[in-house]
Amino acid sequence: MHLSVKGVSKSFGKGRDSKLVLDDINLEINSGEFVALVGSSGSGKSTVMRLIAGLEQPSSGTIHMDDRPVRGPGPDRGMVFQKYSLYPWLSAADNVAFGMRLQGRNKRDVKERTAYFLEVVGLQDSASRFPRQLSGGMQQRVAIARALAADPQVVLLDEPFGALDLQIRESMQEFLFQLWERSGLTALLITHDLEEALLMAQKVHIMAPRPGRIVRTVAANLDRSNLSALRMERSFLELREDLAGCLRGLDQDPAALVATSFASTT
Ligand SMILES: Nc1ncnc2c1ncn2[C@@H]1O[C@H](COP(=O)(O)OP(=O)(O)OP(=O)(O)O)[C@@H](O)[C@H]1O
Ligand SMILES: [Mg+2]
């Protein structure tokens, strides 16, 4: 699998009210890669995700899954959103099964995969519980199970832990990273949280706002054998500080940073 976003720009509105939201976005994700896109609020992260998902069309540029252009939503791309997006009237198991039923999979297949993916996210004992009976972290685990169960080629996660409090958030980051390590999924994580991006992704793109554009790409080759220790390591903190400075600079003076664009750190 190869997802490629080439020269994508997006404007909303027409004529004098037209507003350029994304300018020349370029991204590549290969099978098994974990890539992150980091930017402040309003920088256009969700718009990138909606374009890749096929929920919006680019104003210019192209998006391909392998050699097929993306023209609309499809089961090859799984989505996890920030706000709990489970169906409140369905149990955890029925939420996980939902997409597979739409795909027309046979009953036995749906049942087996539902049980398997609930187990993958550690919720086999909560299969019959409804979203309101689950904590925020558990609900997001169901959302991840639902996305994975439909067997996508790439999972798009838009601030999946944004609504969780810090402690749960950290354990969910570790959970997602271990899941990626074990299952070899391909993921694009969208977040405003640099630490979150650096902890998990091998490649981190930094976005500047107004208009949204990628100004720096970092290959974060870190030893991730112990994530909670990594959070405290000097090299990690230095890299985080360096990029945080870049993000702060972006918010204050978008023009100043063009000079430092595309400087790559390893
Ligand atoms: N359908 C739309 N019509 C008009 N403007 C839009 C539309 N969707 C997004 N925008 C604008 O595009 C910009 C980027 O929005 P987007 O939601 O992609 O940012 P974001 O980085 O995801 O922000 P956040 O971190 O708050 O989720 C914003 O200024 C927003 O108002
Ligand atoms: Mg967003």
Q: State in Å: Cα 106 to ligand 2 middle.
A: 35
Position 263 pLDDT exceeds 90: no
CA dist list (Å): 15 to 11, 18, 20: 10, 5, 11
Say if residue 69 is exposed, middle or buried (CB neighbours under 10 Å; 0-12, 13-18, 19+): exposed
pTM to 2 decimal places = 0.91
Position 84 pLDDT exceeds 60: yes
Q: State in Å: Cα 110 to ligand 2 middle.
A: 31
d(CA 93, CA 159): 23
Average pLDDT, the chain: 91
Mean pLDDT, range 195-207, rounded to an integer: 96
The ligand placed nearest to the CA atom of residue 158 is: 2
Mean pLDDT, range 101-124, rounded to an integer: 94
The predicted pLDDT at position 186 comes to 96
The residue type found at 174 is E
In this structure, are strands 19-30 and 187-191 parallel, antiparallel, or unpaired? unpaired
Pick the atom of ligand 1 nearest to 41's CA: 25
Q: State in Å: Cα 234 to ligand 2 middle.
A: 30
Ranking 119-128, 168-177, 253-262 by mean pLDDT, the lowest is 253-262
d(CA 92, CA 146): 9
The predicted pLDDT at position 262 comes to 44
> What percentage of the chain reaches a pLDDT higher than 90?
81
82 Cβ inside 6 Å of ligand 1:
no
d(CA 64, CA 42): 25
Name the token pair of 68. Answer: 């097929």
The predicted pLDDT at position 254 comes to 52
The predicted pLDDT at position 208 comes to 93
Position 256 pLDDT exceeds 90: no
Position 260 pLDDT exceeds 70: no
Which residues are within 8 A (CB) of 100 and not within 5 positions of it... i.e. 6 or more apart? 109, 110, 113, 114, 149, 150
CA dist list (Å): 247 to 141, 223, 251, 262, 264: 29, 24, 7, 13, 15
CATH class for the domain made up of 2-76+152-260 = alpha beta
The predicted pLDDT at position 101 comes to 95
Measuring from atom 4 of ligand 1, which residue has the nearest CA? 12
Mean pLDDT, range 84-97, rounded to an integer: 95
Q: State in Å: Cα 21 to ligand 1 middle.
A: 7
Mean pLDDT, range 46-57, rounded to an integer: 97
